Structure 1
Amino acid sequence: MLLDGDSWRARMNNFRSEAWRLETLPQYLVPQEAEELEQWRAGKRLDPLTHSDEYTDDLKRLRSEGKRKGRVHIVSRPLSEYLRFEFSQYYEANVRAGDEIRILDVTDRPNPLAGVQDFWMFDQESVVLMNYKPDGTQINRELYDGDVARFVEYQQIAVAASVPYLEYVKGLGL
């Protein structure tokens, strides 16, 4: 079953304890970010200490309700322009708001999750496959109909092999 609009928002808002994501791509072409990417290219930067938007406000609300949101992003250096943008514009502010972001850098080692596609997992009970074109354009979101045990294992591998975002970016000069 494909998830879009209200069905997707309900999935993102109605989990009981944890929403977790695996990100595998060096770039995501998100139409809502196009203007912000251009501003970033022109030198405009957000202040992660004061930045607030709908996403960070939602993260704070979730935390206050005892819920968790996290992700592991698999990367290799040199970081793509999009990753430099995403890291410098959003990740620190999102971490400060409660997003548990970790980075799995596979530059000098084999990727322990090679071939695994992007997904969201909710309460370790349901999985939504995030389907993308090779350039990072989203095709759709598809509710996975099957045993989620392998996705729980992917999460365990990703978390064990990664480091917290703030630790990863020390000294990167973003």
Structure 2
Amino acid sequence: MPGFADLFAGCRRTAVHLEMRDAYTPDDPVFLDWKAGKAVDPAETWQEWYEQVRETVTRGVQVRRARIVSEPITDFIRYEYDLTRGLNLAAGEDVRWLPRRRASDLALPGNDFWVFDDEVVLFNHFAGDGSVPPDGDEEVTSDASVVKLCVSAFEAVWARGIPHEDYHPA
């Protein structure tokens, strides 16, 4: 099965991403710099991602990201929030936030995921501390029932989510 880069580059209509963790990659040097108070230019720091999203959106693909977050938010989620305008939105993504308390009655898969063109799901796996596990962090499936579950979960979160411009984290 193809990996993330191939799936993202090959999508034709939609790429949606649901994030449900409160911390990721705790040893990421950019996160640690941000946490230490150093200025981070998201478009420069994440230039490859920025350009990849810009190119994808320019091809007419709608890229949406939804984040379910605990409140008060963690340092890592504050870092993501602070970089969202200059990275995700500037590149052409649409981003919404959903406080975890408002997601209690939603059926959600056990892992973060991407869905490409409502056809393929890529699950992201992380260790308990948010680091990438030694056995890999991606699982890809085109099983119709899994795709349906993930599309439904994403759309339910999206419908309740707060657009980035209107979300003011606790």
How does the TM-score come out when normalised to structure 1? 0.81
RMSD: 2.3
Query: Residue 113 of structure 1 contacts residue 158 of structure 1 at CA under 8 Å; is this kept in 2?
Result: no
- Counterpart selection for 1:14 from 10, 16, 38: 10
Query: Residue 22 of structure 1 contacts residue 155 of structure 1 at CA under 8 Å; is this kept in 2?
Result: yes
- Alpha-carbon deviation of 1:57? 2.1
Q: What does residue range 1-174 of structure 1 map to in structure 2 within 5 Å?
A: 7-29=3-25, 34-46=28-40, 51-52=43-44, 53-88=47-82, 90-93=83-86, 94-107=88-101, 110=104, 112-113=106-107, 116-139=110-133, 140-147=137-144, 148-169=147-168, 172=169
Aligned residue identity for 1:143 = V
- Alpha-carbon deviation of 1:46? 3.4
Sequence identity (%)? 25
Which runs of 5 or more residues in structure 1 are unaligned?
Answer: none
Aligned residue identity for 1:160 = A
Aligned residue identity for 2:154 = Q
* Cα distance change on mapping 1:13 and 1:30 into 2, 3 Å: farther
Which runs of 5 or more residues in structure 2 are unaligned?
Answer: none
